[in-house]
Structure 1
Amino acid sequence: MARDVQFTIDCADPAALAAFWAEALGYRVQAPPPGFGSWDEALEAWGVPPERRNDASAAVDPDGNGPRLFFQRVPEGKQVKNRVHLDVRAAPGLQGDERMAALEAEAERLIALGAKRLGRHEPAPPLAFGHLVLADPEGNEFCLD
């Protein structure tokens, strides 16, 4: 039986990182539970102190197809390269110059949202089609593929 999965990302600012990834992927920040107009309203009702209200956040696919991204605050900063990373499929089916131009355009959009460019890998057929490496606002690496 296939399992539903979510990706959990340790970070310093869950709300900001959830907002970045929601915009990057066409997701949305997860809405508060029914009966609450905002997360602050829900957390207030549950007795969560203000300093703990950004301990977690999530981004979800509005169509319900993609995995949920869960962001949790941790005290330590990022230390080393990710062992697992996201590949954002920004140019599926494209090749050569057309592919790289599409990746560059998407990189510029994400950089305007707070991402940082880390590298470019040129196409090397027959197996490598070219990709860009970026980091989200907290330094987590991801690829534009």
Structure 2
Amino acid sequence: MLSVPSQVRLLLNSQVQCVLATVSADLSPHSALMAYSTSDDLKQVYLASPLLSRKSTNMNVRPQVSLLFDNRTGNLKDHGDGLLVTARGSAAPASSVNWDRINGAFLNKNPNMEKFLLDPGVGLFAVDIDMYESVLGYASPRSWDPESDEGT
């Protein structure tokens, strides 16, 4: 079986969308399907969003988020072979210092979103990942702190 860091890298490199979970002002959950990219070391996940959207407001006010990545295709084989990765972390708007790097990484993975990113009403966010958790099929979850190089 692959190590957790290898599973995470394999899945995040093979997908183009994830589900972002945030918390609204009334403390209700909110989720959104998002395009993403990552830093090479997987310590950050980058997201783009209209700045006036609920998800952006939620990330600005309550930065703790979770992200769900999944390669399941909706068939019975997924019960054993489907890989699911959940990440938790803290989101922040990309600063002017790292904006060019994050924008480049995002466009490298999502070249079709260039026009979207040029809109002045769209912002980039960086999620600093505290922990990844992977599950293959219905196996027990295994976790990885990207600050360390080992997964359990």
Task: Give the alignment's TM-score, normalised by structure 2.
Answer: 0.28
The answer to which structure has the higher strand fraction is: 2
Q: Which structure has the bigger radius of gyration?
A: 1
Which has the bigger relative contact order, CA under 8 A and spacing at least 6?
2
